[in-house]
């Protein structure tokens, strides 16, 4: 037992912002996600301030709500898109195709063609088969090759193993790209989402440098662009350095490898732009123990793994959970409302919630603006998808 609920609102939101979000949520049924768009605007401005030399390509998968997309469009963001469905969403908002990158390395030939027909000329790849498809379906386009990265241990939500190829293969692909009439444009990587080890960018940039140098010296290919992906932090229970520290370190890494003459630099933030803007509000459905002397209470709430909290898989992302109840706390297991025993959010990592927390009380899941609404199931057990509001 410990005596305090360690989650403080002001560690995550300024007091006014939280008040505004809560006032809106008070008028709504749970569960619902309330996203404060002013926070997204601030996060975007802060990012641009910290990475003044970079072009931002927002990773649309983090939250594709039109309110989010149009806000970022108006601030000058570009868009990293993974499917024709995301492409439709973004282009419906009059974003011009020269602000779009098709960043998914896994794609159908006919989808490459659809992007090309709509004017997109920037494509990611990491395999020969995909590259040949691009050459056919999107002739003359710019391609960048994604390389594998280390750092899966220190990223809370790794993205590194499934995508990318070895540096030797990346060079082969860039040479082949030229031979197929494409523009060998650059190299990309993603160090893993919510990457807590800033050195992961150093290692990846070192590999990029090798590719830039060798292709120039041995093949006369001058690459122009580095896409540093996402991985920048949001505020969860496991703390990270602040964005400024990431930016200063990463700029130093680039300068060490490339001198003062930077190539074009792209960053693709998702989580770091959006997550901090959201609060997911749920209600306690049931509190129980599993035996007479059961040590832990189980707190069942009306949001779960299937209604937006899938990133609690393996307890990877530890969302701060706040309640208005105060006083003595006890470690609990937190689980969702469905008839699936996988629907347990936190069991090993113990959240201390107040002993006087009661059925019907609301729980506030902080930092839930990214990777929640779209991960929500459409109808499991009849539960509707997560409702979201933008204020
Ligand atoms: C998901 C994804 C991102 C966003 O990563 P975050 O860690 O959420 O910022 C960026 N680039 C690519 C290619 C992605 O797949």
170-216: pLDDT as tens digits: 999 999 999 999 999 999 999 999 999 999 999 999 999 999 999 99
Same domain, residue pair 195 and 223: yes
207, containing H or E segment: helix 199-219
Same domain, residue pair 258 and 311: no
Task: State yes or no: pLDDT of 1 exceeds 50.
Answer: no
In a domain, 184, yes or no: yes
Please indicate whether residue 126, judged by its CB atom, sits closer than 6 Å to ligand 1.
no
Give the percent of the chain with pLDDT over 70: 99
- pLDDT at residue 152, rounded to an integer: 74
Domain boundaries, position 134: 103-269
Same domain, residue pair 191 and 311: no
Same domain, residue pair 234 and 310: no
Q: Is 348 exposed, middle or buried (0-12, 13-18, 19+ CB in 10 A)?
A: exposed
Give residue 233 CA to ligand 1 midpoint distance, Å. Answer: 11
Give residue 354 CA to ligand 1 midpoint distance, Å. Answer: 36
Q: Which atom of ligand 1 is nearest to 82's Cα?
A: 15
CA distance 64 to 100: 14
Same domain, residue pair 133 and 251: yes
In a domain, 229, yes or no: yes
Q: What's the rounded mean pLDDT across residues 230-243?
A: 96
Same domain, residue pair 130 and 10: no
Same domain, residue pair 146 and 257: yes
In a domain, 69, yes or no: no
- pLDDT at residue 153, rounded to an integer: 83
Same domain, residue pair 119 and 246: yes
In a domain, 86, yes or no: no
In a domain, 65, yes or no: no
CATH of the domain at 115: 3.20.20.10
Task: Tell which of 254, 269, 284 closes a domain.
Answer: 269
Task: State yes or no: pLDDT of 151 exceeds 80.
Answer: no
Number of domains in the chain: 2
Cα distances (angstroms) measured from residue 323 to each of 22, 76, 165, 280, 354: 12, 37, 45, 12, 8
Same domain, residue pair 242 and 165: yes
Give residue 159 CA to ligand 1 midpoint distance, Å. Answer: 8
What is the best residue among 101, 190, 198, 371 to mutate for testing ligand 1's pocket, by most ligand atoms within 8 Å of CB? 190
Give residue 275 CA to ligand 1 midpoint distance, Å. Answer: 13
Task: State yes or no: pLDDT of 48 exceeds 50.
Answer: yes
Same domain, residue pair 232 and 118: yes
* pLDDT tens-place string over residues 238-258: 999 999 999 999 999 999 999
Please indicate whether residue 275, judged by its CB atom, sits closer than 6 Å to ligand 1.
no
Task: Tell which of 253, 269, 285 closes a domain.
Answer: 269
In a domain, 56, yes or no: no
Same domain, residue pair 165 and 262: yes
CATH of the domain at 374: 2.40.37.10
Please indicate whether residue 305, judged by its CB atom, sits closer than 6 Å to ligand 1.
no
Those residues with Cβ within 8 angstroms of residue 186's Cβ, 6 or more apart along the chain or in another chain? 144, 145, 223, 224, 225, 226, 227, 263, 264, 266
Give the percent of the chain with pLDDT over 90: 94
In a domain, 54, yes or no: no
- pLDDT at residue 3, rounded to an integer: 45
Task: State yes or no: pLDDT of 361 exceeds 90.
Answer: yes
- pLDDT at residue 161, rounded to an integer: 79
Same domain, residue pair 211 and 289: no
Give residue 370 CA to ligand 1 midpoint distance, Å. Answer: 11
Task: State yes or no: pLDDT of 294 exceeds 90.
Answer: no
């Amino acid at each position: 037992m410990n005596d305090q609920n360690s989650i403080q609102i002001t560690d995550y939101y300024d007091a006014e912002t939280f008040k505004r979000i809560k006032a809106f949520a008070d008028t709504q049924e749970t569960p619902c996600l309330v996203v404060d768009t002013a926070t997204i605007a601030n996060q975007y401005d802060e990012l641009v301030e910290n990475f003044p030399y970079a072009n931002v390509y927002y990773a649309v998968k983090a939250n594709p709500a039109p309110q989010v997309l149009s806000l970022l469009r108006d601030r000058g963001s570009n868009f990293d898109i993974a499917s024709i469905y995301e492409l439709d969403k973004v282009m419906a908002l009059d974003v011009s195709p020269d602000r779009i990158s098709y960043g998914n390395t896994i794609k159908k030939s006919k989808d490459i063609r659809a992007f090309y027909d709509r004017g997109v000329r920037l494509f990611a790849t990491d395999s020969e088969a995909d590259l040949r498809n691009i050459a056919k379906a999107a002739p003359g386009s710019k391609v960048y090759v994604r390389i594998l990265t280390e750092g899966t241990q220190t990223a809370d939500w790794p993205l590194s193993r499934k995508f990318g190829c070895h540096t030797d293969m990346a060079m082969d692909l860039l040479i082949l790209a030229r031979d197929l009439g494409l523009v060998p444009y650059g190299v990309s990587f993603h160090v893993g989402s919510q990457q807590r080890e800033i050195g992961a960018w150093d290692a990846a940039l070192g590999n990029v440098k090798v590719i830039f140098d060798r292709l120039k010296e041995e093949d006369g290919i001058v690459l122009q662009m580095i896409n540093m992906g996402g991985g920048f932090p949001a505020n969860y229970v496991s703390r990270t350095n602040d964005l400024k520290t990431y930016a200063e370190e990463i700029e130093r890494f680039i300068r060490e490898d490339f001198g003062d003459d930077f190539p074009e630099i792209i960053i693709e933030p998702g989580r770091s732009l959006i997550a901090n803007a959201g609060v997911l509000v749920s209600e306690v459905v049931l509190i129980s123990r599993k035996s007479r002397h059961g040590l832990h209470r189980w707190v069942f709430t009306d949001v779960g793994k299937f209604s937006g909290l899938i990133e609690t898989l393996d307890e990877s992302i530890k969302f701060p959970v706040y309640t208005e109840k105060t006083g003595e706390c006890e470690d609990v297991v937190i689980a969702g409302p469905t008839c699936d025993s996988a629907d347990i959010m936190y069991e090993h990592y113990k959240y201390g919630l107040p002993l006087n927390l009661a059925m019907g009380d609301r729980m506030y899941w902080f930092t839930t603006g990214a990777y929640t609404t779209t991960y929500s199931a459409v109808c499991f057990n009849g539960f509707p998808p997560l409702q979201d509001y933008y204020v």
